[in-house]
Structure 1
Amino acid sequence: MSPRTHRLAGAVRRALPLLVLPVAVLAQEAPPPPDPEARTLDTVQVTGSRIRRADLETQVPVQVLSREDIDRSGFTSVAEVVQNLTASGAALNTKFNSSGNFGFPPDGGGVGAGAATVDLRHLGAKRVLVLVDGIRWVNESSASGVGSSVDLNTIPLSIIERIEVLEDGASSIYGSDAIAGVVNIITRKDVDGASVQLHYGDYTDLSGGDTWGADLGWGGSSDRARWFVGASYFEQKEISSLEYGPASVPVPGTGLANGSSATPTGRFVFQDPNTGTVYDITPNTGATDPTYLPGQTPCRDADGNPTGVVRADDFHCFGTADRFNFAPYNLLLTPSERKSVFGQVQFDFTPTFGGFVRLLYNERNSANQAAPEPFFLGTDAGVYNDYAERTLVISALNPYNPFGFDLTTAGDAPNLFLLGRRPVEGGPRRFEQDVETWYASGGLNGVFDVADRPWSWDINVVRSESKAEQTNTGSYNIRRINEALGDPSACAAISGCVPLNVFGGPSTITPDMLAWIQPVVRDQSRNTLSLASANLTGELFEGWAGPVSFAAGVEYREYEGEYRPDALTVAGEYNGVPSGPTQGEYDVREAYAEFLVPLMREGWFGKSLDLSLAGRWSDYSNFGSTNTGKIGLRWQVADEFLLRGSFAEGFRAPSIGELYGTLSRFDATLVDPCNNAAATTPECVADGVPPDYEQANPQISVVTSGNEALEPETSRSLMLGAVWSPSFADQAAWSDRLDLGVTFYKHTIDGAIQALDAQTILNRCVFGRDPVSCGFYERNARGQIVRFDNILGNVGTIRTDGWDFDVGWRLPEQAWGVLAFDWKTTWVTKYELVNEAGQPEPRAPGVEINNSAIPERTSTLSAQWSRGGWSAAWSARYIDRLTESCGGANGFDICDDSANDTNALGSTTYHDAQLAWATDAWMKDFRITLGVNNVFGKDPPICLSCSLNGYDASTYDLPGRFWYARVGFGF
């Protein structure tokens, strides 16, 4: 038996006595049980509490998305459903073409390519706990890091009965990660017969992106068992960025200003060792044999100003018009293929004692794409690679070197500052992921009476793993590039080495050259979860205002994660984004107790007043122990009016990636405030930036890393709310039912684990001379930023608060059918991150930053009509206006408020429509559905600061309409 299996088995053995012994003792005191067939169990367990109860409206707000709600949405994945809730924030999805220059974020989780997550209250996906049938799900793996959140693409939509979303802190109930809330996915259990669901969808204004899928299910029951098995297939085709105008340029409205300086013809910044003249040139036509004539006019005068002189040789001064447009190579929508099988069975050994087994296997094949990988060589390259920045010698003997002298980064007098070459001959970078997730759980459960009071218990064991392999083509070996650019005789001595031509322009890198420098890179990652838990709930005794109920339990969890980049990457020979291996594990032992205490019943104060109390003790193998608590009140003022509130403490331990993620790189698009302004900006002069300084590339490499010195996050959450169902709206001529709800929420997170915004760091150093910010990066003698460190830390405090408003109105049934409306709105009144130095970070309500936004108001209004077998739905999804900083780029037309240096992203409303018809006349449960999402083809607002495709893919839909058709039937 392995050590891990031994620990898991030990946890189960320890859990059994804690649960079974009290049951046995109490059962001896209990009278003989009544006839099981006469038992009526009218209590349920609602997300947010472990206590089974009859009241569905508890002390905390839980939004329930039924199977009908999911089908009516027209969405094809769990992620799409929950990401469109008004309380959801920016989260990863398949619209993110997230490989390439995105590199590796500081949390060590990798880019999550092809994954989809959920964010609640804009607090980040890692602060949302995802459960399946009340039990934790394994974290994602995308072969680029050790993720700290669940990939919802591992859970097929077809197996879901409903989704319960708790929008409140719940660490004392469920443990770590439940700071912002809980998403509990309830699977299908009561199914009778077989079913088939077929669906197809496509975009009307874009080429590609068509989706299709099939879901098969079969369920049934006997006197002692219930079962359900299902299989799903889903395929989504890719869409090129060329399909959408704003996505086919680096940044919309800026021309080539934000294009790359690594071009197919090449950019060469060097110093002539014979004259001392510094050149910044590019070939006129990309000729195969350019001739360099020493002494030609340099591109800038002594003051650093462009000379505007047309050179007489085969080169000209590099300018904005020469930059490379990398955007057409990207993807607007990434391809994804998902296959899954699922099965579960509940067996009743006796009427009061049963067991279950639940199994799932899911495989995802997805891909991302980026422009051909560039070579950045020279002392100004800033790519953190010795082969490119410190040991390179492009020999004068290289047959393709037109300059007649060595270009070198080595020694005391390097003269190669920047060589940017985009080898389009090698094709685009393609990252293909193969992700396998399997999940196995089993357990025992039962019910019994203690003094005529119902009790229930369960024991659960889970083992789950997500593992992935990513294959990267179109990248390069920088060591071999170094060798191929050196002395031809040294290259000839290396088997397979072929001299490389980086000076000749497009098509001059031959297949033989590519064969030497272009490898296939394979990365792997894995996340595993082992869990054992035992729970007991029931009524303890009769209090002065009703029965006092409780729930208690123990849980053991073990996490293991690893990321293994290709050996080429580990050796430092990968030309692309570097990363190191990651590996770690830790375990948690927990115990919790929850009590529901009726305080008053039927009096002058109202109908009822209930107090809930919960506490959890957690012991982490790497942090020690901690305690969290929660208190809630539920005041039923009248049958139609409810007040409720809660205060909760939260706790989130750093994930494996956050702790042990090794040094990697993120290529951030940043605007250096000293760019072309050093001579006139006193702060830049004081910083020693030369007057002729020009930022070599809009992308500046930022080194990121996990941090073993991290401390856990702690949080405090406050919720106050009211629910009113006025009696005058019940069964009236104008209303069958009206429900009104309002909730105020407030979250405070101390010791928040994240990295600071790199652009803000840069601005604070230059304009504020903040010594802490200035310590994050350094410049070389030419002013170029050659080191930028942004290591993960406990950076400060996050505070957010806001309001949720809910209105549900159902009209009386008429001859023309039944009509109902549902309106949900979230208003974010505050969001701030104050770093450890007491300085506010730029993220705030109404602001777009770093491909994510916090709209002040988001709202969804839906109308549903039904008559006989016909039904129809119309919904409107509203996103409030946003603003973004232009980063000093007021010269661009997109920046519509030059006085405040901002760009406005107007409010956006998407309209969705659906029509369905159902009948049993042809076959069982036959249903056909037609729908259109984004009926009016609304395009997302253009975004200057969004680094891909010109819009914020985490906030807005793809441009254009999406139509779909579904057919379902049973037998």
Structure 2
Amino acid sequence: MAAPAFAQETPAPAPSTAQTAEPVSEEGDVVVTGTLFRTTTAAAPSPVTTVNVESLEQRGISTIQDAIQQLASNNGPALTNSFTANGAFAAGASAVSLRGLSTNSTLVLFDGLRAAYYPLADDGSRNFVDLNTIPDDIIDRIEVLRDGASSTYGADAIAGVVNIITKKEVKGVNARMEAGISERGDAAQKRLSLTVGHGDLDEDGFNAYLSGFYYKSDILYNRDRPYPYNSDDLRNVCFEGECGPNNTVGGVSPDGLYRGGTPVSSALYVRPANGTTAVTGSTYQPLGNLADTCVGGTLYNLTAADRLLNPTAPNTICNVDYTNRYGVIQPNIERFGVSGRFTANLNDTTEGYFEANFIQSRVNYTGAPGVIRSTANAGILFPQFSTATAAGAVAPGSGVLALPVYVCPTGVGSANGLNTGCNAGNGTLNPNNPFASAGQVALLVGRFLDRPNFNETRTRAYRAAMGIDGSLTDKISYSIGATAMHVDLQRTQRGYVYIDNLLTSIARGSFNFVNPNANSQQAWDFLMPENRNQASSDQYQFQASLAAELFELPGGPLKLGGGASIRYESVDAPSGNPDYFGPTQRYFTLNAFGTSGNRTIKSVFAELDAPITNFLSVNGSGRYDSYSSGQDAFSPKVGVKITPMKSLVLRGTYSRGFRIPSFGESNALPTTGFVSNTSGIFNDTFLAQYGCTTATFSSCPTYIRSGSYGQTTLASPDLKPEKSRSFTAGAVFEPVRGISFTVDYYNIKKTGAITQPSNAPALAAYYSGQPIPAGYTVIADAPDPNCATVNAACPAGPAARPRVAFVQSQLINANTIQAEGLDFSASVDIPVTDGFRIQSSVEASYIINLSTEFPDGSVESYEGTIGNYNLTAGSGTPEWHGSWQTTLDFGDFDVTGTANYFGGYNLSAEDQNGAGTSGDCGLGDVYGPCDVSEYITFDLNARIKINDQFTFYGTINNVFDKLPPLDIATYGAHLYNPVQGGNGILGRYFRAGVRIGF
């Protein structure tokens, strides 16, 4: 027996296929996940996938993170490292999502014990374990339990468990050197590692090893990949004769007409105004020389037709392709760490160990330039400010940022960033305001295009574990152990405008807006001070268990085990952009999310394993958890294994589980995720105000077509745990030794699922002019500047209803989530001749149903679509995911080919208002296909053993250089699905290395 926390037994030799099908023979893989007893995949009633390191070496997978991301059962809301560079809340992290049920329903363990949460929650609400905190080179295998396991581990094991198991023993010196680069000469990677071990547990009674590694992956920009992944101009993205819009800033529509609106995201522009009212008939004009300020853009001169559509537009537009200039596919990633372990036989029946790990992960990228005018993006309102009259009076809430007529360098009235009291008597005409001599203020819009922002997360994870496993008698064994883990995260952000400093700079005239390049570094640092924020999380656990063989049954010994656990977990993630000191004491566009909390969990658990006969075996387990925060839960599970014949095993499980509310869900500042505006959000009555319809959405003004709204989530301390019911049923068939097939059905139902109410009722009411339903707050955006007058782009003129800026609602226990599907696997391991062996395995997962039922009885279905759109960041829920790996082993040389398959999906999402029903392409558009194609890539890896000390290997990933299929609706990446596309966006990729052992 070994308790789940301390499963350190050396496994029996396993087939070297990446994701092994479970053999019927009791000599199958030794597994310890989900049970108190050391057993095998064949003996366990639960479906388990074992991924061993040898198989990863054959396949050419260089990190444990990539291995877990490629699990067939991983789907939908998984977090990839590439999504870090696309605005993820949990920037810098990677996480797995089994069954498409999100990162918080998959439990990740380290040697059977829990690991500390990543301090930044996914979407500000979902706690998860960052896969980047796993030390690659000391991993022995990964066990994936594909059914509920709350009866053994407690909370969060609803969709399954991923248990990363480290090596118990290392002998000698082992080193690795590896480098990789894409065929296009970018996205370089390198990896170095060294592990030194001494001692033999059987002969010397001890083993100790020390391991260190370094990993570096270079940044990859969108501009480094071919069209259309590298551009916002989609006029050459065409489908059935219809082509896409030009979404570049200041771009033109497919009909050649300018529809860029006021150039708020382009270079700096100004327009004269009296107070907050723009001068009638005036237009925006560049502030300074466009040739200098339009950095990275191209100049476009408006035609007479353009002028009719947008009378306030400047004569010359700075056209900027944001994706091409600033877009990042993959961030810079640098990881290094050191691990050590000492294991000793304390006596003939007792073994003890101590293990310690340290890993630092640094992830950074540059993004778009910071704005100098914006609304709040975190659900915390602050007024917009204006120094908008000649006398310097303040017009709060006007939505206007203006350069005043006079500036007072001495700082008159600038304590709050405004120039109240500054006039001709104590100030000077504002050199930044070209209209100052006429007594007019200058309405200011735009960005500093040569100042992209910088985002970096630096994570340091410290972990220690120790334990003792032993036997009291030949039939009674015990396990005692403890672990402590601390994660320290530092987030650094530069290039974001601090509101009060902006207003102060305007009031004092201390910043040169006409010629930004003339500013000193001190002036830039004052306008955009570095924002550095610290966050941390902790996990401490002590666990003890006892197991005994009571007596013999016809099928084997009756086993009874039980134990207790106490753990402490906490998160301290203060907001990096709070409004504690007033609405101007914060940054534009930085999210205000922050949370903190801690709790202690006391648990008892037990398991009974009864091999009643050789034909029938029954396993039952249960766990009771009590939280210091007031929640408790009992989680039972029963499993049955039937062996009607030697080559066939039938198995099934039934369990109940729970997910505890995260710290972010129960105690956090409001969080806002942005959802792209699509035709499905609006209705024709509303769009008619802007001269377009849902059918002609691609010709709508940029204000409508290219905007987004904030979905603001408010925490609730009164949330209850989510409850789950799950069952599995499957079969394992091994007609002959070395050939095995499995199929398993799973069905998971979560009730009281924590959710933000659907935005659909609030959006529908707002855009239809109806009262907003109870429980929602809708905040309108600033009006379209083009609607100051009646014109072709805005037929309704000033009466046009603005689009939605934010929808706010509080989390509730309300929904029922259903997940249902099938897992398939097959493996072949055949010695063909002396010295030649064929090994092949295939594993696939098929989602039959993934849906949400709401309190009113309505149901949304997501399988095979890009939904659940908000939960998956537009990554969708493809029905199929799988791989097929085949190795030809010639002894000292082997070659492995792997086909990776990710299914396609329809561009519909029932969680988006107006998107229709599943399969109707509600989020698609006329210029792109309604169905995103399936994605198949092929990898090839070869290894040659020179001698006992040196092995060389080489890998070609994505041999056929197949880039991901076009997805025009996702927002997790530009025009491709970051989960489906995975590393495929890198294109054909070469990696070579050497392993050295002495």
Under TM normalisation by the shorter chain, which class is it?
A: 0.7 to 0.9
CA contact (8 A) 1:764 1:770 kept: yes
Q: CA deviation at 1:755?
A: 3.5
The amino acid that maps onto 1:481 is: L
> Which residue is equivalent to 2:562?
552
Separation in 1 of the partners of 2:191 and 2:308? 56
The match for 2:337 is 340
1:932 counterpart SS class: strand
**Structure 2 residue 103 is the aligned partner of structure 1 residue 125:** yes
Change (3 A) 1:270 1:139: farther
CA distance in 2, matches of 1:762, 1:902: 26
Is residue 2:285 matched to residue 1:283?
yes
- From the superposition, tell whether residues 118 and 251 of structure 1 become closer, same or farther in structure 2 (CA, over 3 Å): farther
Choose from 551, 556, 572 the match for 1:562.
Answer: 572
Show CA shifts across 1:109-134 (max 9, x none).
xx222211111111111111111221
Alignment partner, residue 156 of structure 1: 135
CA contact (8 A) 2:377 2:591 kept: no
User: Structure 1 residue 317: deviation in Å?
Assistant: 9.6
Partner of 1:525: 535
Aligned to 1:542: 552
Number of the residue aligned with 2:704? 695
Tell me the residue number matched to 1:108. none
Paired position in structure 2 for 1:855: 878
Distance of 1:958 and 1:939 partners within structure 2: 5
Match of 1:955 among 955, 963, 980: 980
Q: Secondary structure at the match of 2:137?
A: helix
Relative distance call for 1:960 and 1:481 in structure 2 (3 A) is same
Structure 1's 715 and 143: CA in aligned 2 closer, same or farther, altered over 3 A?
Answer: closer
The aligned counterpart of 1:745 is 746
Rounded Cα–Cα distance in structure 2 between residues aligned with 1:583 and 1:175: 22
SS of corresponding position for 1:955: helix
- Aligned residue in 2 for 1:37: none
Deviation, 1:542, is: 2.9
TM-score (norm 2): 0.79
Q: Percent identity?
A: 23
Confirm or deny: 8 A CA contact 2:270 2:285 kept in the other structure: no
| 1:106 paired residue number | none
Alignment partner, residue 707 of structure 1: 716
Alignment match of 1:85 (pick from 71, 78, 84): 71
Which of 30, 45, 57 is matched with 1:71 structurally?
57
Task: Go from structure 1 to structure 2 and tell me whether the alpha carbon gap of 1:270 and 1:938 turns closer, same or farther (over 3 Å shift).
Answer: farther
What is the deviation of 1:620?
A: 0.7
Shift of 1:772: 3.9
Matches within 5 A, 1:372-411: 372-377=369-374, 384-388=381-385, 390=397, 394-397=403-406, 398-403=430-435
**Cα deviations by residue, 1:180-224 (Å, 9 ceiling, x for unpaired):** 111111111132212111111111125233333333332432532
SS in 1 for 2:56: helix
Q: Which residue of 2 aligns with 1:172?
A: 151
Alignment correspondent of 1:810: 829
For 1:129 and 1:523, locate their aligned partners in 2 and report how far apart those are by CA, in whole Å: 27
Check conservation: 1:846, 1:883, Cα contact below 8 A.
Answer: yes
Which residue of structure 1 aligns with residue 950 of structure 2? 926
- Assess, with a 3 A threshold, how the Cα gap between structure 1 residues 765 and 635 changes in structure 2: closer, same or farther: farther
Quote the offset at 1:80 in angstroms: 0.7
Decide whether aligned partners of structure 1 residues 512 and 599 sit closer, same or farther in structure 2, where only a CA change above 3 A counts. Answer: closer
What secondary structure is seen at the aligned counterpart in 2 of 1:315? coil
Query: CA separation in 1, counterparts of 2:445 and 2:598?
Result: 41
SS of residue in 1 equivalent to 2:931: strand
Note closer, same or farther for the CA distance 1:385–1:654 as it changes in structure 2 (3 Å cut).
Answer: same
How far has the Cα of 1:692 moved from its partner? 10
Partner SS for 1:177: coil
Which deviates more, 837-846 or 815-824?
A: 837-846
- 1:864-875 to 2 correspondences below 5 Å: 864-875=887-898
Question: Which one of the candidate residues 413, 421, 424 is aligned to 2:446?
Answer: 421
Give the superposition deviation at 1:552: 0.7
* TM-score (normalised: structure 1): 0.81
Kept in 1, the 8 Å contact 2:378–2:592? The answer is no
Query: Is the partner of 1:233 in helix, strand or coil?
Result: strand
* 1:815 to 1:710, Cα distance in 2 relative to 1, 3 A: same
Give yes or no for contact 1:498–1:512 (8 Å, CA) kept in 2: no
Answering whether residue 695 of structure 2 is matched by residue 671 of structure 1, we say: no
1:71 aligned counterpart, secondary structure:
helix
Call closer, same or farther: CA 1:216–1:279 in 2, change over 3 Å. Answer: farther
Q: C-alpha separation between the residues in 2 aligned to 1:629 and 1:381? A: 40
Distance in 2 (CA, whole Å) between partners of 1:462 and 1:375 is: 48
CA distance 1:251–1:368, change in 2 (3 Å): farther
CA contact (8 A) 2:174 2:996 kept: yes
Residue 846 of structure 1 contacts residue 854 of structure 1 at CA under 8 Å; is this kept in 2? yes
By how many angstroms is 1:65 displaced?
0.8
List gaps (5 residues or longer) in structure 1: 1-14, 20-40, 103-110, 291-298, 409-414, 492-496, 602-607, 686-690, 731-736
Is this contact kept in 2: 1:270–1:279, CA < 8 A?
Answer: no
Residue type of the alignment partner of 1:707:
S
- Give, as a single letter, the amino acid of the residue that structure 1 aligns with 2:662: S
Number of residue pairs the alignment of both structures matches? 862
Question: In the aligned structure 2, how far is the partner of 1:181 from the partner of 1:483?
Answer: 54
Letter in 2 for 1:336: I
Q: Which residue is equivalent to 1:783?
A: 802
Instruction: Write the letter of the residue equivalent to 1:130.
Output: V
Mark the CA change 1:98 to 1:791 in structure 2 (over 3 Å): closer, same or farther.
farther
- Matches of residues 460-475 of structure 1 in structure 2 within 5 Å? 460-475=481-496
**471, 474, 481: which is aligned to 2:502?**
481
Contact 1:722-1:743 at 8 Å conserved across structures: yes
Q: Secondary structure at the match of 1:373?
A: strand
Query: Is the CA contact 1:262–1:323 (under 8 Å) kept in the aligned structure 2?
Result: no
Q: Distance in 1 between matches of 2:846 and 2:766?
A: 34
Deviation of 1:363 after TM superposition, in Å, equals: 0.9
Partner of 1:828: 847
The answer to whether 1:249 aligns with 2:251 is no
Question: 8 Å contact 1:88–1:122 — kept in the other structure?
Answer: yes
Distance apart, 1:583 and its partner CA? 1.6
Give distance in 2, aligned partners of 1:150 and 1:250. 34
Q: Any conservation in 2 of the 1:265–1:282 contact (CA below 8 Å)?
A: no
2:604 maps to which of 567, 575, 591: 591
Does structure 1 conserve the Cα–Cα contact (< 8 Å) formed by 2:45 and 2:653? yes
Aligned to 1:621: 628
CA-to-aligned-CA distance 1:250-305 (integer Å, 9 cap, x gap): 47544433758533324668976698877795436964899xxxxxxxx9x9xxx9
In the alignment, what sits opposite 1:436?
460
Q: Are positions 1:723 and 2:732 aligned together?
A: yes
Structure 1, 49-58 or 458-467: larger mean CA deviation: 49-58
Q: Is the 8 A contact 1:213 1:233 kept in 2?
A: yes
**Which residue identity is paired with 1:659?**
S
Mark the CA change 1:965 to 1:42 in structure 2 (over 3 Å): closer, same or farther.
closer
Q: Deviations over 1:410-452 (max 9, x none)?
A: xxxxx97xx5411124x21111222110001112221132xxx
1:299-327 Cα offsets, whole Å, 9 max, x none, are 9x9xxx9861786x993498xx8576255
CA contact (8 A) 1:675 1:693 kept: no
Q: Which residue of 2 aligns with 1:209?
A: 188
Matched, 1:654 2:656: no
Residue 997 of structure 2 is aligned to residue 970 of structure 1: yes
The question of 1:357 aligning with 2:354 is answered yes
Shift of 1:968: 0.8
The question of whether the paired residues in 2 share the 8 Å contact of 1:113 and 1:368 is answered with: no
Distance 1:379 1:879, change over 3 A: closer
Aligned partners of 2:610, 2:769: CA distance in 1, in Å? 55
**Structure 1, residues 513-556: CA drift from partner, whole Å, max 9, x if none?**
42431101101110000111101122122346542112211010
- The aligned residue for residue 224 of structure 1 is 205
| SS of equivalent to 2:813 | strand
